[in-house]
Amino acid sequence: MVWTIAFRNLIKNGRRSIMTMLAIAIGGFAALLFGGFVTSIWFGVQTSMIQDQGNLQVYRKGFLQFGAADPEAYTIVDWRRAAETIGAIETIRDDIVVITPKLDLGGIAGNVAASSNKTFFGTGVVAADIDRMRQWDGWRIDQPGLASGLSDNRGNGVVVGVGMARMLGICGPLEIAECTDPPRLTRGTVTGEADTVAPLVEGDGDLSALRSGGPADSLPRLNLLAATTTGLPNIARVVVETAQSQAQRAVDNAFVMMHFDQAGELLYGDSRQATALLIQIRSPDRAEFVKAEISKTLAAAGLDLEVYHFTEVDPTFSRIFGMFSFLFAVVSIVLAIVIVFTIVNTVSMSVIERVREIGTIRALGFRKGFVTRLFLAESALIGLFGAVLALIGAIAAATLINAMGVQWTPPSNAAPLTVQLMVLQNPALTLAVVAALAAVAVVAALVPTRRAARLNIVESLHHA
């Protein structure tokens, strides 16, 4: 009977009920869509980063704190042994998709053909492993990453940042969009430098070939100069297979990705050492467990290594997600306040119109609580209908927007992601929004409802 009365009064005040419901529905709609966007950031940005860096990373102890100043002292001395030790852990054998080493290095890259050069920050990776990692889809959001661009059969192939390619003047042959060579500059000093490093190339005395480039397959070539661990300069002659944009301009302008063996050759003359081991695991939910197991095993094996979750190494994700969560919270609170005022207004009007009815009901022997329930039921119904409307609208809008294939580039990414608003894919958040709408509706109604319940019976009965 309480719900019957509540429902029929909603119908009776159709216009007002619909306006209030719409206010709730629009608020809920906005919260659900924004929530869907934040959810897509949660899954999309993490997926990108896991495709790039793996879920877990193993470093020499202290590397994250001090490694940048003295990389030599903080490399993993025998990465194969570390990888084998981790690969042999029974409890996580099925979790691990990829364990792969990477080696960071820096130096100077020179394009002899254009007599230009520039510092670079490079990383050596196992191309096949990286390409496998880029296919990771632990949350099934179907967002495959870009291939590394390194070919397995060209040991001296490298991939550079687009900014790097531009500055070195190798855009022409790469045929990459947004990559154009600079206007010709005077480059006396550059030529001189190229002359000084050229004779150092081991086993390659053919200076004319080096200068002219002149590769059979027309891909641009670079000389990479790095200092070996013993402090001697070392040079590698590499082929630029392609250029790929990097998320940050500073990185893009200096980025060189090469084969792991090539990097090892440049730095150490062998490939036993690595800066880090990247570990990709099948299910992100298992990351903490896998991390703990690896940590335990490394310690037991007496290895001077530490394992981190990728968010600990690179705070980008936490920052992006934190920012959008904060925005979501602010928007939700503002919406909730608007909804509260709307509900308070609607219920107050409803109470005022029905003062005599309230007096009658009380005279008939109902306690205050019954009056409260009567009006709360009305508000709860408005909240519920509004929430359902919001949900239907949000699902429809999300489906539409997702189908439109709108692109956006999160701060962590070089390549844009397709906006996928995940409304239903985050049932916890969606339920929370719907529940919050109903709860806000009921809580907001408490104030005018209490007033209704406390009305003096005699005075209410005489109310016009």
Partner 1 sequence: MNYATPISELEHPAPPPAAAKAETASFRSISKQYRLDAVTVDALNDVTCALPLGETTFVVGPSGSGKTTFLNILGLIDRPSAGRLVLLGEDVTDLTDSEAADFRSRHIGFIFQSFNLIPVLSLRENVELPLLRHMRSSRARRQRASHYLDAVGLADMMERRPGETSGGQRQRAAIARALVTEPDIVIADEPTANLDTGTSSEIVALLDRMKSTFNTSVVICTHNIDLIQPESALIQITDGRLVNGGPN
Binding stretches for partner 1 (CB under 8 A): 1, 4-5, 8-9, 12, 356-357, 359-368, 457-458, 461
| Cα–Cα distance for residue pair 461/464, rounded to 1 Å | 8
Q: Minimum distance from CB of 429 to partner 1 (Å)?
A: 37
Beta bridge partners of 124: 103, 258
The answer to whether 222 and 109 have CB atoms below 8 angstroms apart is yes
Q: Which is nearer to partner 1, 72 or 353 (CB)?
A: 353
Q: Which is nearer to partner 1, 203 or 365 (CB)?
A: 365
Beta bridge partners of 282: none
Q: Minimum distance from CB of 351 to partner 1 (Å)?
A: 15
Q: Minimum distance from CB of 462 to partner 1 (Å)?
A: 9
209 to each of 55, 58, 191, 213, 452, how far by Cα in Å?
43, 41, 15, 6, 94
Beta strands in 81-133 (DSSP E): 96-111, 116-125
Beta bridge partners of 58: 277, 307
Q: Which is nearer to partner 1, 4 or 208 (CB)?
A: 4
Beta carbons within 8 Å of 207's beta carbon, 6+ residues apart: 198, 199
The answer to whether 279 and 270 have CB atoms below 8 angstroms apart is no
Q: Minimum distance from CB of 369 to partner 1 (Å)?
A: 8
Q: Which is nearer to partner 1, 327 or 363 (CB)?
A: 363
The answer to whether 273 and 126 have CB atoms below 8 angstroms apart is no
Q: Which is nearer to partner 1, 18 or 355 (CB)?
A: 355
Q: Minimum distance from CB of 22 to partner 1 (Å)?
A: 22
Q: Which is nearer to partner 1, 154 or 463 (CB)?
A: 463
Q: Minimum distance from CB of 342 to partner 1 (Å)?
A: 22
Q: Minimum distance from CB of 451 to partner 1 (Å)?
A: 15
Q: Which is nearer to partner 1, 297 or 372 (CB)?
A: 372
Q: Which is nearer to partner 1, 100 or 460 (CB)?
A: 460
Q: Minimum distance from CB of 399 to partner 1 (Å)?
A: 38
Phi then psi for residue 103, to 5 deg, are -130, 120
Token duo for residue 85:
């030790």
| Cα–Cα distance for residue pair 148/46, rounded to 1 Å | 18
Q: Residue 431: is it exposed, middle or buried by C-beta count within 10 angstroms (0-12/13-18/19+)?
A: exposed
Phi then psi for residue 243, to 5 deg, are -120, 140
Q: Minimum distance from CB of 438 to partner 1 (Å)?
A: 23
In single-letter form, the type of residue at position 430 comes to: T
Token duo for residue 332:
């939700």
Q: Which is nearer to partner 1, 310 or 375 (CB)?
A: 375
Q: Which is nearer to partner 1, 361 or 434 (CB)?
A: 361
Query: C-alpha 184: how far from its chain's center?
Result: 39
| Cα–Cα distance for residue pair 46/126, rounded to 1 Å | 22
Token duo for residue 170:
């190798």
Q: Minimum distance from CB of 4 to partner 1 (Å)?
A: 7
| Cα–Cα distance for residue pair 102/281, rounded to 1 Å | 17
